[in-house]
Amino acid sequence: MSNDRNGIEPAGLPGDQGEDGSVLRIKDILRPWDPAAQGGSAILGFASDEGVRRNHGRTGAAGGPAAIRNMLKRLPVHRQVSLYEAGDVACTDGDLGGAQGRLAEQIAVLLGRDVRPVVLGGGHEVAYGSFLGLAKHLGDQLASTSVLVVNFDAHFDLRQAAHPNSGTPFRQIAELCAARAAAFQYLCFGISELANTSALFERAGALGVEYLLDEEMRATAVEGLREMLRKRMASVDKIYLSIDLDVLPAGMAPGVSAPAARGVALEIIEDLVDEIASSGKLALADIAELNPLLDRDDQTARIAARLAYRLAVGPQRAWRHK
């Protein structure tokens, strides 16, 4: 890798000037979306908190994509990767279904070029748009493709509501799967017993949802969780991963609509995310619920950027062994 940017703009950050080696950061390798792209990953924003508003939550997640990009672009890169910037889909007129449909169109285009979309939310209503994009891409193949939906979240987000919102996306996905004669395979990590009603646990049971409670996700259990996840992933064709930042402890991730009093530690989330990202089956991922208005020192945005980095670039642990 070269630091020569052809005189356009110096690579790295101002503090990097004078270094001998590579100071490349995400901002230096991020390319505008290229319709002829083949492989790699793309960053795609979903600037919406319409679902949070409808769910009576604290709005502000529409600013999530910009806040995550701002942190992501500064992170250093240690290996060559193809990373595209696919822009934002916004919901500014209250038409959430329309925005989810536009997101789905974009995702289907990326998947059609074998590019992994890493979608930056936005409220968790992003999840229905994400899955809709995968369904659009698969078309008639949806029913015959074994798709595992993995969600890191304190909540099931399986609510019944008059209008779709940030608490309903996985129920909507279940209904879409039923309408298309596809199996609904939904695995949740970090569910809080005290953040979901009995009705929701019953619906999860009726839908055959697999889940681990936050209290079961201790550091001492992580090897068992990884093994369970590896086995579960081995039996499917494709994975859609969703990460709701409110799965993290409130003290670590204050910038969300509904902070978790307990939550699951970041080190455990990252270990499991790395398992999924390196499975060879991860088709697309999203990171939801960052609300920059409620954040503290951009801490939640920094965590979101770390997770987006792992999904778009990969864990960089192997670098040490080169």
Minimum separation from the CB atom of position 262 to Mn ion (A): 16
Least distance from Mn ion to the Cβ atom of residue 192, Å: 11
Applying CB under 5 A, what is the total number of residues that bind Mn ion?
5
Is 244 near Mn ion (CB under 5 A)? yes
Rounded CA-CA distance 159/154 in Å is 14
Provide the pairing of β-strand 116-121 with 185-191. Answer: unpaired
Residue from 153, 214, 275, 286 touching Mn ion (CB under 5 A): that is 153
Helix (H), strand (E), coil (C) string for 18-45: CCCCCCCEHHHHEEECCCCCCCCEEEEE
Judge contact between 150 and 187, C-beta under 8 A. yes
* Window of 55-63, 152-160, 187-195, 202-210 that interacts with Mn ion by CB under 5 A: 152-160
d(C-alpha 226, C-alpha 241), whole Å? 15
**Residue 69 or residue 155: which is nearer to Mn ion going by CB?**
155
β-strand partners of 90: 47
| Footprint of Mn ion on 64-103 (CB under 5 A) | none
Choose which of 28, 50, 157, 275 interacts with Mn ion (CB under 5 A): 157
Using CB under 5 A as the binding rule, whether residue 214 contacts Mn ion is answered as no
Residue with tokens 């409110």: 246
Q: Which is nearer to Mn ion, 88 or 157 (CB)?
A: 157
User: Which stretch in 108-116, 149-157, 177-185, 314-322 sits in contact with Mn ion by CB under 5 A?
Assistant: 149-157
Q: Closer to Mn ion at the Cβ: 50 or 153?
A: 153
Name the token pair of 146.
């074994």
Q: Which amino acid is at 200?
A: L
Query: Is the distance from CB of 255 to CB of 292 less than 8 angstroms?
Result: yes
Q: Which residues ranging from 110 to 129 are in contact with Mn ion (CB under 5 A)?
A: 124
Q: Alpha-carbon distance 219 to 204, whole Å?
A: 25
Looking at the Cβ atoms of 81 and 176, the one nearer to Mn ion is 176
Binding site for Mn ion (CB under 5 A): 124, 153, 155, 157, 244
